Protein backbone atom coordinates (compact mmCIF):
# COMPACT_ATOMS: atom_id res chain seq x y z
CA UNK A 1 0.00 0.00 0.00
CA UNK A 2 1.22 3.47 -0.83
CA UNK A 3 -0.92 6.46 0.16
CA UNK A 4 -3.85 4.12 0.69
CA UNK A 5 -3.57 2.63 -2.81
CA UNK A 6 -2.53 -0.94 -3.51
CA UNK A 7 0.82 -0.96 -5.29
CA UNK A 8 2.30 -3.81 -7.32
CA UNK A 9 5.80 -2.86 -6.16
CA UNK A 10 7.50 -5.76 -4.41
CA UNK A 11 10.02 -4.81 -1.75
CA UNK A 12 12.12 -7.51 -0.16
CA UNK A 13 14.60 -6.91 2.62
CA UNK A 14 17.10 -9.75 2.87
CA UNK A 15 18.76 -10.07 6.27
CA UNK A 16 21.46 -12.77 6.12
CA UNK A 17 21.63 -14.94 9.22
CA UNK A 18 23.46 -18.10 10.14
CA UNK A 19 21.22 -20.71 11.76
CA UNK A 20 23.79 -21.20 14.51
CA UNK A 21 26.31 -19.09 16.38
CA UNK A 22 28.96 -21.82 16.04
CA UNK A 23 30.12 -23.64 12.90
CA UNK A 24 30.72 -27.06 14.46
CA UNK A 25 27.07 -27.76 15.35
CA UNK A 26 23.64 -26.17 15.51
CA UNK A 27 23.25 -24.43 18.87
CA UNK A 28 19.86 -22.99 17.78
CA UNK A 29 21.06 -19.40 18.17
CA UNK A 30 20.60 -17.58 14.84
CA UNK A 31 23.35 -15.03 14.30
CA UNK A 32 23.34 -11.97 12.05
CA UNK A 33 26.10 -12.31 9.45
CA UNK A 34 28.59 -9.50 8.86
CA UNK A 35 31.39 -8.63 6.47
CA UNK A 36 32.30 -10.84 3.54
CA UNK A 37 30.14 -13.73 4.77
CA UNK A 38 27.09 -11.43 4.79
CA UNK A 39 27.82 -10.33 1.22
CA UNK A 40 28.43 -13.93 0.08
CA UNK A 41 25.07 -15.11 1.44
CA UNK A 42 23.18 -12.09 0.05
CA UNK A 43 24.68 -12.66 -3.39
CA UNK A 44 23.78 -16.35 -3.22
CA UNK A 45 20.16 -15.42 -2.43
CA UNK A 46 20.05 -12.87 -5.27
CA UNK A 47 21.59 -15.32 -7.76
CA UNK A 48 19.21 -18.11 -6.74
CA UNK A 49 16.18 -15.82 -6.89
CA UNK A 50 17.13 -14.59 -10.36
CA UNK A 51 16.91 -18.18 -11.62
CA UNK A 52 13.18 -18.16 -10.85
CA UNK A 53 11.23 -16.94 -13.88
CA UNK A 54 9.93 -13.38 -13.40
CA UNK A 55 11.78 -12.66 -10.17
CA UNK A 56 14.75 -10.57 -11.34
CA UNK A 57 15.75 -8.06 -8.70
CA UNK A 58 15.64 -4.48 -9.93
CA UNK A 59 17.43 -2.91 -6.97
CA UNK A 60 19.71 -4.60 -4.51
CA UNK A 61 22.55 -3.80 -2.16
CA UNK A 62 26.22 -4.79 -2.46
CA UNK A 63 28.67 -3.74 0.24
CA UNK A 64 26.10 -1.28 1.64
CA UNK A 65 25.72 0.46 -1.75
CA UNK A 66 22.38 0.35 -3.55
CA UNK A 67 22.73 -0.96 -7.10
CA UNK A 68 20.01 -0.64 -9.72
CA UNK A 69 20.04 -3.42 -12.27
CA UNK A 70 19.59 -2.28 -15.86
CA UNK A 71 17.20 -4.38 -17.93
C-alpha distances out from residue 51 to 14, 38, 48, 70, Å? 17, 20, 5, 17
* Torsions phi, psi for 57 (to 5 deg): -75, 135
What pTM value is reported for the model? 0.57
Residue 2 lies inside a defined structural domain of this protein: no
- Residue-wise pLDDT tens digits, 27-54: 999 999 999 999 899 888 878 877 776 6
Count of the separate structural domains present in the chain: 1
Per-residue confidence (pLDDT) for residue 37, from 0 to 100: 92
Q: Tell me which residue range forms the domain holding 30.
A: 17-68
Amino acid sequence: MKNGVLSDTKEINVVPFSISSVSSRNDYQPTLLTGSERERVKQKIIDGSNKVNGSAWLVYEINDQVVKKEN
